[in-house]
Amino acid sequence: MTDELDLVRSLGESVEPDDVIRDRVYAAIQTRLDRSPRRFLVLAGLAAAALAITVVVALALDRSSVRTPTQSAATPSFPPGWSLKPPEGVSGGWLPTPFLHAHDLSLPQAQAMVGFEIPRPADPLASDDQIQDVWVAQLPDEGGGTETQIRVVYSTGVYVELEPAIPELIGDPAAQLAGFRQMAAEDASATGGQARVTTVNGAPAYFIPQGAATFANGQSQGNAGWVFFLLGDQGVDVVGYMSDADLLRVASSIAPRPA
């Protein structure tokens, strides 16, 4: 809440969007999230990595849960393909890739394909030497151009997704804040009030902590934590099994791509 209040003060009252703009922005965010499965997966209990039932993953979660800034802890190690595991009880119709027509590439191959340096974390829990997969899909968009989707998966139980941001939100933190506030209000009952607006490097961000999404009986769905924010002209999802502080730190270490 402190982050959100500081952000509102920095924006000033005069830039708060009116109801019409707020509704338009929220609709745009919903369109973006409906296209990407992230929010649906987190809140409906279908987060792909939530099926952490192998011994390796269970041990990794155990280790991450006891990590504190003042003690050294073993780096979590998740098995290859962990981010693509289907939810428990789901069979058939589950893609073996995060996007349609996605290619699993090395980092140099992926950057050559997209034509730019892919923004990614620089953190002890998400460094280049911990990359397992770089998924890239390029499909025609409605305007006749090409939409690029990227997922960078790390062995530590976190991945980063990037795709073009909604034009209405680019460079408009007030619009982003309005949309994220409405999302947090809508998701409050499904997350025990833990879904919230926060900041990443001073910019508005939407955050659902690990384990916050619950079933109707109140039991946690075992979801990964999720942060969503804009980085230049890119929408960024950071999804991972780690503490709130670690996940937000990983997100904050992602630098914009060079102009």
Residues 6+ apart with CB under 8 A from 200: 227, 229, 248, 251, 252
Please report whether residue 145 resides in a domain. Answer: yes
Predicted confidence (pLDDT) per residue in 221-242, tens digit: 888 999 999 999 999 999 999 9
Predicted confidence (pLDDT) per residue in 113-123, tens digit: 999 999 999 99
Please report whether residue 48 resides in a domain. Answer: yes
Please report whether residue 257 resides in a domain. Answer: no
Please report whether residue 212 resides in a domain. Answer: yes
| pLDDT (0 to 100) of residue 144 | 85
Predicted confidence (pLDDT) per residue in 64-106, tens digit: 343 434 334 578 999 998 898 765 555 555 678 999 899 999 9
Beta strands in 28-180 (DSSP E): 103-105, 131-140, 146-154, 158-164
Model confidence at 11, pLDDT cuts 50, 70, 90, reads low
Please report whether residue 218 resides in a domain. Answer: yes
| pLDDT (0 to 100) of residue 120 | 95
Share of the chain above pLDDT 70, in %: 67
Angle between helices 2-11 and 173-187 (to 10 degrees): 150
Q: Distance between CA 182 and CA 94 in Å, rounded?
A: 30
Asked whether residue 60 carries a pLDDT value surpassing 80, the answer given is no
Starting from the edge strand earliest in sequence, which strands make up the sheet with 146-154, in order?
A: 103-105, 131-140, 146-154, 158-164, 234-240, 225-231, 203-208, 196-200
Asked whether residue 166 carries a pLDDT value surpassing 70, the answer given is yes
Predicted confidence (pLDDT) per residue in 183-216, tens digit: 999 999 999 999 999 999 999 999 999 999 888 8
Please report whether residue 176 resides in a domain. Answer: yes
Q: Specify the number of domains making up the chain.
A: 1
Predicted confidence (pLDDT) per residue in 243-258, tens digit: 999 999 999 999 876 6
| pLDDT (0 to 100) of residue 95 | 74
Mean of the per-residue pLDDT values for the chain? 78
- Look up the domain containing 186 and give its range: 2-67+76-88+96-252
- pTM for the model: 0.75
Which residues partner with 153 through β-bridges? 133, 159
